[in-house]
Structure 1
Amino acid sequence: MATVDIAVPHRITRTADAAPALTTRKPKRRRLGPGRPIPFGIAIGPALLIAAWIAGSASGALDAETLPAPWTVAQTARQLISDGTLQSNLLTSVQRAGLGLALGVGIGLVAALLAGLSRVGEALLDGPIQIKRAIPTLALIPLFIVWFGIGEQMKLIVIVTSVAIPVYLNTHAHLRGIDGRYVELAETVGLSRWSFIRRIALPGALPGFFLGLRLAVTIAWLALVVVEQVNATSGIGYLMTQARTYGQIDVIVVGLVIYGLLGLFGDIAVRAVERRALSWRQTLGD
């Protein structure tokens, strides 16, 4: 009997070389934060304001009697610098604000530590500070004048009391917001109270302290504007008061620009120190 050979087709197999190259692309990680900071980004906003000021003055949209042109203000500033008026008054203002800021920050920090680390301290300090927080500084000036007169002491006390509040509030809030697990860990390993304060409490309160410090720098200049217009004989506020009496709007604008620059540069300095001190913390935009 004849046999029939049936040809079985060979199985087609692909070698590794014949296989198409598969490349796996790693998904791009999307950042949810604002991204890296733009170099000199903080100057963009003020630069746009100045550009709008220049454009409005050049086009006539801004009345020179209401807001002098930037070149007029620059010329007035040059004259004040040439006769030494601006430097002497600026030095007085910086000294007042600097001393008031230093004392206010120190007082606010000590009060926050006492209230944040002790129930007795909180019971004694938190209520009066919250009351002061609710009373505007302008409302206290007449009373401070009666108590301390109209000299430098009154001006310094106004700045100190205004500055201490934001430092206290933010530092105290972060002290009270420390994770309870860290407290339990400190108790477990047997940390002393001083070690707990130095290693856990103070580092945990630093972000709040720097936030309060940034607010305090701005508030120091705001308080200075107010007190330097109360029977002052020197300072940028005094210069602006004299200019108001004689209708010198350009001098008033020079004073406002100086206050604004002092506040801006003060905030930049605090943020630079904050970034260095809190370099261990991962934040949005890092």
Structure 2
Amino acid sequence: MNDMTRATDIPPIRIVRGSTNKRPAALVPSRLPRGARLLGPLLVVALWEAASRVGLLSPYTLAAPSTAVATAVEMTLDGTLLPHLAASAGRAYAGLFLGVIAGLVLALAAGLTRSGEALIDGLVQVKRAIPTLALIPLVILWLGIGEAMKTFLIFTAVLVPVYINTHAALRGIDIGHVELARTLGLTRSEFIRKVALPGALPGFFVSLRLAVTLCWTALVVLELINTQTGIGYLMNRARDWGQTDIIVVGIFIYAALGLLSDAAVRAVEARFLSWRRSIGS
């Protein structure tokens, strides 16, 4: 009896349920607000400007950003800057256009046919292993030192990342989609249009973002070779005269064009791949 009394004296176990109003911790970061990617570059420029103003950086070593901006405004007003900017943009985007088209066509041929992969993939991998700058002496012998040489080398530099990423996306298409296309009786052209191309778009846009930056990177070196126009020519001439403000203007222009080109590709990618949700989207 005493045992039964002691057992009944034990209070019942209460189950405490968590509040349903409590939100779980975020597993992935939320999407950055517009313009947030400029925070890092702006912070570097602010520190650079501060170091110049307190005397840590000599203007003979590296001009302050404010000095470079004033020089850029002056060069724009006197008509010096814009013709050189137009010349550089023409070279960069001509090579970019040709490289993107060729890389896409080669990736489709290699990714969709066995014979294409046997003939093309090895050649592109060989080109991938050869630095673009190593081809300069040979291309000069072929095409001279004019605009054709510069456009061709930018074209070869851009072609590789476009091919590699697009080809990888094509080879990575889910086999279930391929089997479904066979079950539905899609023709070869319908399969390419409705399955292969949409499946390759994410990889293609990754390659395009790399290409728009790479075309400007290659141009920096190429405009140091026997040119009378272009941002690289201005920077090379400024080096001879110790004009670090003009050199910084050129650096800012290359950086701005790279950021704007990347932003444009991002905008097009968001439009064409609006169906895809990813981390941070």
Scaled by the length of structure 1, the TM-score of the pair is 0.89
1:265 paired with 2:251, answer no
Deviation at 1:202, TM superposition (A): 0.6
1:184 paired with 2:179, answer yes
Inter-CA distance 24–163: structure 2 relative to 1 (3 Å threshold): same
Q: Which residue of 2 aligns with 1:91?
A: 86
Q: Which residue of 2 aligns with 1:247?
A: 242
Q: Which residue of 1 aligns with 2:12?
A: none
Q: Which residue of 2 aligns with 1:43?
A: 38
1:135 paired with 2:120, answer no
2:60 is paired with a residue whose SS is coil
Q: Which residue of 2 aligns with 1:158?
A: 153
Q: Which residue of 2 aligns with 1:206?
A: 201
Q: Deviations over 1:51-79 (max 9, x none)?
A: 11111111111122111112221221122
Q: Could you tell me whether the CA contact under 8 Å between 2:92 and 2:215 is conserved in 1?
A: yes
1:123 paired with 2:118, answer yes
Q: Which residue of 2 aligns with 1:222?
A: 217
1:84 is paired with a residue whose SS is coil
Root-mean-square deviation (CA), in Å? Answer: 1.4
Deviation at 1:50, TM superposition (A): 1.1
2:214 is paired with a residue whose SS is helix
Unaligned runs of 5+ in 2: 1-16
Distance in 1 separating the partners of 2:18 and 2:244: 69
Deviation at 1:27, TM superposition (A): 5.3
Give the greater-gyration-radius structure (CA): 1
Distance in 2 separating the partners of 1:30 and 1:190: 46
Q: Deviations over 1:211-256 (max 9, x none)?
A: 0000000000011111111101101011111111222111111111
Distance in 2 separating the partners of 1:175 and 1:193: 15
Deviation at 1:103, TM superposition (A): 0.8
Residue identity opposite 1:210 in structure 2: F
User: How many residues align structurally?
Assistant: 265
Residue identity opposite 1:285 in structure 2: G
Mean Cα deviation higher: 167-176 or 249-258: 249-258
Scaled by the length of structure 2, the TM-score of the pair is 0.91
Inter-CA distance 169–23: structure 2 relative to 1 (3 Å threshold): closer
Q: Could you tell me whether the CA contact under 8 Å between 2:95 and 2:215 is conserved in 1?
A: yes
Deviation at 1:39, TM superposition (A): 2.5
Distance in 1 separating the partners of 2:181 and 2:276: 21
Q: Which residue of 2 aligns with 1:14?
A: none
1:229 is paired with a residue whose SS is coil
Q: Which residue of 2 aligns with 1:113?
A: 108
